[in-house]
Chain A
Amino acid sequence: MTKIKSLDDLRQKKQQLEQGMDIREKSDHPENLVQIKVAMATCGIASGARTVMNTLVEKMKKEKIAAVVTQTGCMGYCYAEPTVEVTKPGMDPVVFSYVDVKKAEEIVDKYILNNELLDGILPKNYQTI
């Protein structure tokens, strides 16, 4: 193990290690971050939600956007799977349909980074209590 000999060493060490821990830090204040939910029930997984989710996790890391990417159960849009719900801080959730790897990247580039909407947005037709 390399020794930590100065405050800078400690800071560097901390930065190197941060990635493994940051989902624990983020889970403390999810409301201030972009929240992405990937529907991953049987139908979602069958249509490729797992690859979509992995793409999103990687892409957000690459773009250095603070986000919480979680999986969720069936949202009910089984005809349009894989579906992804994005909630930006202080905004209403938006649900994107037929998301593949390409579209997942578009969501990040266009909607999350630039607020541009994409084709295939599903109307939010439910209320939660």
Chain B
Amino acid sequence: MYKMQLLVCSGTGCRASASATIVEKLNESLKAHQLTEEAQVVTTGCFGFCEKGPIVKVIPDNTFYTQVKPEDAEEIVTEHILKGRKVSRLLYEDPENKEHIIDSKHMGFYQKQMRIALRNCGVIDPENIDEYIVRDGYSALAQVVTDLTPEQAIDMVKQSGLRGRGGAGFPTGLKWEITSKFSSDQKYVVCNADEGDPGAFMDRSILEGDPNSIIEAMAICGYCIGATKGLVYIRAEYPLAIKRLEIAIGQAREYGLLGNNIFGSKFSFDMELRYGAGAFVCGEETALIASMEGKRGEPRVKPPFPAESGYMHKPTNVNNVETFANVPVIFLKGPEWYSAIGTEKSKGTKVFALAGKINNVGLIEVPMGITLREIIYEIGGGIKNGKNFKAVQTGGPSGGCLTEAHLDTPIDFDSLVAAGSMMGSGGMIVMDEDDCMVSIAKFYLEFIVEESCGKCTPCRIGNKRMLEILEKITQGKGSMEDLDHLRNLAYVIKDTSLCGLGQSSPNPVLSTLENFYDEYVAHVKDKRCFAKQCKAMAKYTINPDVCTGCTICARNCPVDAITGEKREPHFIHQEICTHCGVCYQKCKFNAINVE
């Protein structure tokens, strides 16, 4: 029996920082000190605290080591495991009072979180089905197939108030009910793991950290709607998630948890994977189904909805990864327990991928109804380098930017839409005073132009035109009419596109126009970018009082716009300068001013 366990994160982020080598070194060191009987190394899924990875957590004392390097393994073993002394230099440091936090329970990052979909991430070994079983895995499935009728099970999901976590927030129980009503010789359960929002990685982390929960939930869904076949549509860019899912499916088959007559019932269910090529539009369910059938990933007109005619023209139920991850818990804890969490119309929790100018970049799960302020300042640890908060972008390329005025709005599906953004899949990108909102809108539009499938003219050409206008504005060549054009185009695209991608593609532009109109006007009228991001508008000058005449700027200027004698103040010739900003980056004395 082990006295201690070392949980090492092996999500994609931490693995990229050599967590696999850390596991190796820890094992070597335990062996060298003859501790293999007493301590065990366990590889787990993502802890969410990606900012400070790789993470090694020691239990039972909940010691949370951050930014561990392979060469630290020996010290952790000799000091902590052998002598019981925590290695303080590796402990998490509170950003405010600079104190080392010895117990992860006291970290602000975890205190406000409530982990349902991520319940097993960072706790169990995702490549070992036994650990999932110990955490009550597959008992929800057993309960459903042996004790409940499909109608009863669907009712429980409806009562829980679970809504689809992929973006639109459609009630999951209702979706299952509709699919169950269509009769057919074959039906399908599809898991949408085509996560495409820039910066969002919750689906990947769930699949990497707890693949069995998705298998269990898909089987439950299959029982409810009368399907015997499950398909996971996953992008080929997620090799680790694919590998772990395949291992989990293999182990579930060996145990007879997938296959014929599950738990001795008449219900049979099996699953397969389908790989996507990483097209954003394939997150839309009809495009996803087309892609699975081997056709071009393009959406089609609804109705008929996939519930009636989906994959291979058979009734198909499509749910997102995070939605499925919530399902077993509803049966284990009961729908009342689940619906007690969250707000009136949005129940349960939501996983967000925190990114951008925030101290604790990572993956968090919070109850619906929490405020942006709590997320950004208490869990996220505030804005990097003590700068001022400017905006937070939610919902990816389909969402919008929220401002300081929205910081205290409780977050749920409906409040975000009311504020001009959306929940989306849960990307949350925080921006500070140095971010130019016009450039941000441009960034998302570039993504949309790249990812538009081209089926509908308004989306294919309209977004391209919008991007051109934004480029004009950021180069200081925009006019006030351009702003009107932008708005008109945006509404036309919204009204006339077929699928969700097109309909929501102008959101980043519309919400920044709404919330940061002054910034657009400054770009157009005064030819100024407050955030100094639009280089074409920047005027670079040298402050002669500070300049030491080191010549580094003149030597690096690609167009020879800077002249001056050694040890004498230099000068930038504005008529030659191309505003590239190299001199500003190279100057070691802060002598270059940007206006």
On whether the beta carbons of B83 and A41 are closer than 8 Å, the reply is: yes
Give A42 to B82 CA distance when docked, in angstroms. 9
The residues of A that contact B38 with a CB separation of less than 8 Å are: 54
The residues of B that contact A6 with a CB separation of less than 8 Å are: 142, 146, 263-264
9-residue interface stretch from B224-232, B235-243, B249-257, B316-324: B249-257
Per the CB 8 Å criterion, the residue count for chain B at the interface is: 35
| One of A1, A18, A61 near B255 (C-beta < 8 A) | A1
Give chain A nearest CB distance to B137 CB in angstroms.
8
The residues of B that contact A4 with a CB separation of less than 8 Å are: 138, 255-257, 263
Give chain A nearest CB distance to B119 CB in angstroms.
11
CB-nearest residue of chain B to A49? B84
Known: A5-B263, A5-B264, A26-B60. A19 touches B1 (CB 8 A): yes
On whether the beta carbons of B5 and A24 are closer than 8 Å, the reply is: yes
9-residue interface stretch from A70-78, A96-104, A112-120: A70-78
Give chain A nearest CB distance to B399 CB in angstroms.
34
The answer to whether B85 has its CB under 8 Å from any CB of chain A is yes
On whether the beta carbons of B263 and A40 are closer than 8 Å, the reply is: no
CB-nearest residue of chain B to A11? B139
On whether the beta carbons of B85 and A41 are closer than 8 Å, the reply is: yes
The answer to whether B135 has its CB under 8 Å from any CB of chain A is yes
The residues of A that contact B263 with a CB separation of less than 8 Å are: 4-7, 10
Give A7 to B142 CA distance when docked, in angstroms. 6
The answer to whether A94 has its CB under 8 Å from any CB of chain B is no
On whether the beta carbons of A17 and B59 are closer than 8 Å, the reply is: no
Known: A3-B255, A26-B60. A10 touches B1 (CB 8 A): no
The residues of B that contact A73 with a CB separation of less than 8 Å are: 83-86
The residues of A that contact B135 with a CB separation of less than 8 Å are: 21
The answer to whether B589 has its CB under 8 Å from any CB of chain A is no
The answer to whether B143 has its CB under 8 Å from any CB of chain A is yes
Main secondary structure of the interface of A (DSSP, over half): helix
CB-nearest residue of chain A to B85? A73
Give A27 to B254 CA distance when docked, in angstroms. 31
On whether the beta carbons of A24 and B59 are closer than 8 Å, the reply is: yes
The answer to whether B61 has its CB under 8 Å from any CB of chain A is yes
On whether the beta carbons of B5 and A57 are closer than 8 Å, the reply is: no
On whether the beta carbons of B60 and A68 are closer than 8 Å, the reply is: yes
Mask of B137-150 contacts with A, CB within 8 angstroms, 1/0:
01100110010000
9-residue interface stretch from B126-134, B269-277, B456-464: B126-134
The answer to whether A108 has its CB under 8 Å from any CB of chain B is no
The answer to whether A110 has its CB under 8 Å from any CB of chain B is no
The answer to whether A45 has its CB under 8 Å from any CB of chain B is yes
The residues of A that contact B86 with a CB separation of less than 8 Å are: 73
| One of B1, B5, B83 near A42 (C-beta < 8 A) | B83
Known: A20-B2, A45-B83, A53-B3. A7 touches B60 (CB 8 A): no
The residues of B that contact A38 with a CB separation of less than 8 Å are: 84
Give chain B nearest CB distance to A41 CB in angstroms.
6
Give chain B nearest CB distance to A10 CB in angstroms.
5
The residues of A that contact B124 with a CB separation of less than 8 Å are: 21, 24
On whether the beta carbons of A10 and B5 are closer than 8 Å, the reply is: no
On whether the beta carbons of A57 and B3 are closer than 8 Å, the reply is: yes
CB-nearest residue of chain A to B104? A27
Give A4 to B253 CA distance when docked, in angstroms. 10
The answer to whether B62 has its CB under 8 Å from any CB of chain A is yes
The answer to whether A30 has its CB under 8 Å from any CB of chain B is yes
Within 8 A of B (CB), among A30-51: 30, 38-42, 45
On whether the beta carbons of A70 and B1 are closer than 8 Å, the reply is: no
CB-nearest residue of chain A to B40? A20
CB-nearest residue of chain B to A37? B84
Give A27 to B60 CA distance when docked, in angstroms. 5
| One of B84, B131, B136, B254 near A40 (C-beta < 8 A) | B84
Give A19 to B142 CA distance when docked, in angstroms. 22
Give A68 to B62 CA distance when docked, in angstroms. 11
On whether the beta carbons of A70 and B142 are closer than 8 Å, the reply is: no
The residues of A that contact B257 with a CB separation of less than 8 Å are: 4
CB-nearest residue of chain B to A10? B142
Question: What are 14 inter-chain pairs, A to B, with CB distance below 8 A?
Answer: A3-B255, A4-B255, A5-B256, A6-B142, A7-B263, A21-B134, A23-B5, A23-B60, A27-B59, A38-B84, A41-B83, A61-B1, A68-B60, A73-B84
